[in-house]
């Protein structure tokens, strides 16, 4: 699979309603706090993120939530794909393993199930599902040309 295939699948994601984007945004900081606490309790955290990378992980969670909030407000498949590819490349170079991404996304989903309204959850879940099922593709593309940027973004 290539970047173009990821773009094609990202184009099929439906932009959440303004109400869901607003709900996500209003709860974003609380969601990030819950995510950080959940991930920091994991016994396998060091194996997933490397030594001395907890602050970097926290920054990733905050940046992730801000970025997704912007995508929920302004769906842009190219920005979504290229940013996720950039993140995979950047964090791989800092000792984050591929298992971190699955653990992180699973944790977000579990938090969303209890913290977001059913309508909001149902509208943003497809983005998280899309990221989860494409982890192997993102890993592969990140490994192929780690020094090459994805686009002009």
Domains and CATH numbers, the chain: 3-41+55-144 (1.10.490)
Instruction: Tell me how far CA of residue 83 lies from CA of 92, 105, 153, in angstroms.
Output: 14, 16, 8
Predicted confidence (pLDDT) at residue 148 exceeds the cutoff of 50? no
Q: Which of 28-42, 58-72, 80-94, 133-147 has the lowest mean pLDDT?
A: 133-147
Name the residue with higher pLDDT: 13 or 153. Answer: 13
DSSP 94: T
The Cα–Cα gap between 138 and 125 comes to 19
pLDDT tens figures, 85-97: 999 999 988 889 9
Which contacts qualify for 115-118: CB closer than 8 Å, 24 or more apart? 115/27, 115/30, 115/31, 115/34, 116/23, 116/24, 116/27, 117/20, 117/23
Structure tokens at 53: 């990378």
The Cα–Cα gap between 96 and 90 comes to 9
Cβ-count burial of 148 within 10 angstroms (0-12 exposed, 13-18 middle, 19+ buried)?
Answer: exposed
Query: Is residue 141 a contact partner of residue 3, using CB atoms and an 8 Å limit?
Result: yes
Tell me the mean pLDDT in the region 31-48: 97
Cβ-count burial of 14 within 10 angstroms (0-12 exposed, 13-18 middle, 19+ buried)?
Answer: exposed
Q: Predicted confidence band at 142 (pLDDT cuts at 50, 70, 90)?
A: confident
pLDDT tens figures, 99-123: 999 999 999 999 999 999 999 999 9
Q: Predicted confidence band at 146 (pLDDT cuts at 50, 70, 90)?
A: low
């Amino acid at each position: 699979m290539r970047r173009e295939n990821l773009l094609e699948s990202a184009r099929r994601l439906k932009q959440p309603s303004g109400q869901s984007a607003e709900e996500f945004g209003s709860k974003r900081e609380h969601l990030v706090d819950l995510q950080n606490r959940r991930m920091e309790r994991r016994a396998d955290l060091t194996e997933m993120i490397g030594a001395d990378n907890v602050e970097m992980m926290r920054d990733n969670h905050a940046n992730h939530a801000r970025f997704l909030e912007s995508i929920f407000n302004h769906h842009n498949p190219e920005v979504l794909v290229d940013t996720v590819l950039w993140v995979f490349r950047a964090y791989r170079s800092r000792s984050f393993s591929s298992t971190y991404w699955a653990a992180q996304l699973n944790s977000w989903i579990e938090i969303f199930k209890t913290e977001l309204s059913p309508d909001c959850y149902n509208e943003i879940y497809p983005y998280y599902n899309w990221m989860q099922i494409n982890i192997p593709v993102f890993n592969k593309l990140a490994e192929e040309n780690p020094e090459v940027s994805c686009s002009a973004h």
